[in-house]
Amino acid sequence: MRKAMVVYGGWHGHEPEKFAAFYKRWLVEDGFDVRMETSTAAFADPEIAGYSLIVPLMTMSRIEKPEAANLCAAVRGGVGLAGHHGGMCDAFRDAVEYQFMCGGQWVAHPGGIIDYRVDVTKPDDPVMQGVAGFAYRSEQYFMHVDPGIEVLATTTFVADHAPWTKGIVMPVVWKKRYGAGRVFYSSLGHNAHEYDDVPQAATILRRGLNWAAR
């Protein structure tokens, strides 16, 4: 049986316990043995090199250098990495190797919770098949991104909240490689109810977990 680890905590505004419950249920239903942890110390465990998937859910947390080094080495060796929103791509602001692995870092969400649109750019990708563009209400993430990511969905900024961003097309969902490991990310999901309100967001993330997993 494939083994996955979900490490959750960090800023409570992103409801890590609720999202961790989503992850655990999906992964168990999809045939994983799931390990749940609440400390970044779990990333330093040498055993994670043999796992199929690691899910970080640690918004605005700190990671020690040996923990980050072991995590990055595991993914370079073939372990999958997947996650969403600030739980993954605003987890460790001072860990640049971690950000290099993820493919992007949050820097702003102009206007806070707003209405915006998600546009599917690769409808034939297995993660996106059958998912059309959709309206979404949440934080519209403005991110600094790796130009090498494979973008699966985007959003376009308007002038309402930060006029200088008008017309900028920003990746929302992507995948990439980091060494031998697969990395998947979706910026959707500030609050857990969004996955019930907009099932496409949940479908994309669940498929992304399975794509990333070794």
Strands 53-59 and 80-84: parallel
For 2-212, CATH gives 3.40.50.880
pLDDT one digit per residue (tens) for the chain, 214 residues: 999 999 999 999 999 999 999 999 999 999 999 999 999 999 999 999 999 999 999 999 999 999 999 999 999 999 999 999 999 999 999 999 999 999 999 999 999 999 999 999 999 999 999 999 999 999 999 999 999 999 999 999 998 999 999 999 999 999 999 999 999 999 999 999 999 999 999 999 999 999 999 9
Q: Which amino acid is at 87?
A: G
What are the backbone dihedrals phi and psi of residue 65, each rounded to the nearest 5 degrees, phi first? -60, -45
Single pTM value for the model: 0.97
